[in-house]
Amino acid sequence: MIKSILVPTDFSEQAESALNVAAQIARKNNSKIYLLHVLELPLHLTDLMSSNNPAPAPEAIFFMKHAHNKFEEMLSAEHLKDLDIEETVSFEGVMDGIIDASEKNNVDMIIMGSHGSSGFEELFIGSNAEKIVRTSKKPVLVVKEECDIYNIKDFVYATNFDDEDRDSLMSAYDFAKLINAKLHLVWVNTANGFKTTKDTQDKMHHFLEGMHLENHTLNIYNDVTVEKGIFNFADSVKAGLIGISTHGRRGISHFINGSLSEDVVNHAKRPVLTFRI
């Protein structure tokens, strides 16, 4: 059961799509939605606002009124009628604001929109969604366009079938049941990490012992990279959702090792649901 959802918004089309997905889940589960807008003000204005100054600067008042008007416009949508939605503004950076709000409100998941990024933009900036996926202890569902979450019939979860991924897999399985989708577990076999079919099948069955999963398939898919394998396998089963776990590497470790989950979030056209190991 999903009792509460955090939806960060910059009032973009992608953020509206994320709120729409959150609304679908909230309406069926009687969930509360925390709608968060992060105001990245100049440092001197941020200090004034965070110190509860009784007379904030006119510029800060302007930005607050603008955010309030955008909230009103967004929340006037018919599909949000009668939902429990609490709007809030943060003056922290985007990443800190979202992570702090998710922990303060003890939400069950974060749903956010993303433009994605590629090339030099990805190398030097990355997307906000990528940063949240890397940092959040809560599951993060990233959407890039309008999505009917309850019309998704097939959900691909990529895993290496290591024991550390058991909890994440169970969370993915629970979400698959929530939206009534079939869960397709896939191991992507590449030349660099090649394993025989027998060894992989043995590992799969050992991993799943005692988990009692229903409505799922086990799959081995060969491709040149794991990322391409996930996308191509998802295409082959016409999946509407991709799931993957992340170690949440940060700093120099992240720079050296990279993160498959972040690459998948950035490059996927489908919604992607990530889980922190």
CATH of the domain at 179: 3.40.50.620
The reply to whether 201 and 139 lie within a common domain is: no
Which pLDDT score is estimated for 225?
93
pLDDT class for 271, splitting at 50, 70, 90? very high
- State mean pLDDT over 229-237: 97
Please give the tally of structural domains in the chain: 2
Tell whether 168 and 267 lie within a shared domain: yes
The pLDDT value recorded for residue 259 is 80
pLDDT in tens, 118-141: 443 333 334 788 889 988 999 999
Model confidence over 5-49: pLDDT tens digits? 999 998 889 999 999 999 999 999 999 999 999 876 655 555 555
Measured distance between the N- and C-terminal CA atoms of the chain, rounded to whole angstroms: 20
> Do residue 103 and residue 182 come from a single domain?
no
Structure token pair of residue 235? 């295409």
- The reply to whether 162 and 266 lie within a common domain is yes
Q: Are 135 and 250 in contact (CB under 8 A)?
A: yes
Same domain, 210 and 244: yes
Pair 115, 229 in one domain: no
For residue 137, the 8-state DSSP code is S
Q: Which of 97, 125, 143 is the last residue of a domain?
A: 143
For the segment 99-109, the average pLDDT, to the nearest whole number, is 96
Instruction: Specify whether 123 is located in the same domain as 82.
Output: yes
Helix and strand element counts for the chain (H, E): 11, 10
Question: Do residues 32 and 133 share a domain?
Answer: yes
Name the pLDDT band for 51 (thresholds 50, 70, 90). Answer: low
Check residue 125 and give its pLDDT. 37
How much is the pLDDT for 237? 97
Boundary-marking domain end, from 103, 126, 143: 143
pLDDT at 252 (0 to 100) = 44
Q: Please say if the pLDDT value at position 70 is more than 50.
A: yes
pLDDT at 222 over 70: yes
Q: What are phi and psi of 74, to 5 degrees?
A: -65, -45
Tell me the per-residue pLDDT of 175-213, one tens digit each, with 9 for 90 and over: 999 999 999 999 999 999 899 999 999 999 999 999 999
State the pLDDT at residue 53. Answer: 57
Local confidence band at 142 (pLDDT 50, 70, 90 cut-offs): very high
Maximum distance among all Cα pairs of the chain, rounded to whole angstroms: 70
Residue 52, pLDDT score: 58
Q: Cβ distance 220 to 189 under 8 Å?
A: yes
Of 100, 127, 143, the residue that ends a domain is 143
How far apart (Å, rounded) are the C-alpha atoms in residues 269 and 65?
A: 34
Angle (nearest 5°) at CA 237 between 235 and 239: 70
Task: Tell me, yes or no, whether 126 and 153 share the same domain.
Answer: no
Residue 180, pLDDT score: 97
* CA-wise closest residue to 155 among 137, 177, 134: 177
Residues 139 and 163 in one domain: no
Q: Are residues 117 and 182 in the same domain?
A: no
Range of the domain at 172: 149-276
Strand partners, 37: 89
122 and 191, same domain (yes or no): no
pTM, two decimal places: 0.88
pLDDT score, position 119: 42
Residue pLDDT, tens place only, 165-174: 999 999 999 9
**Paired tokens of 134:** 């890397």
The predicted pLDDT at position 40 comes to: 67
Cα-to-chain-centroid distance, residue 14:
13
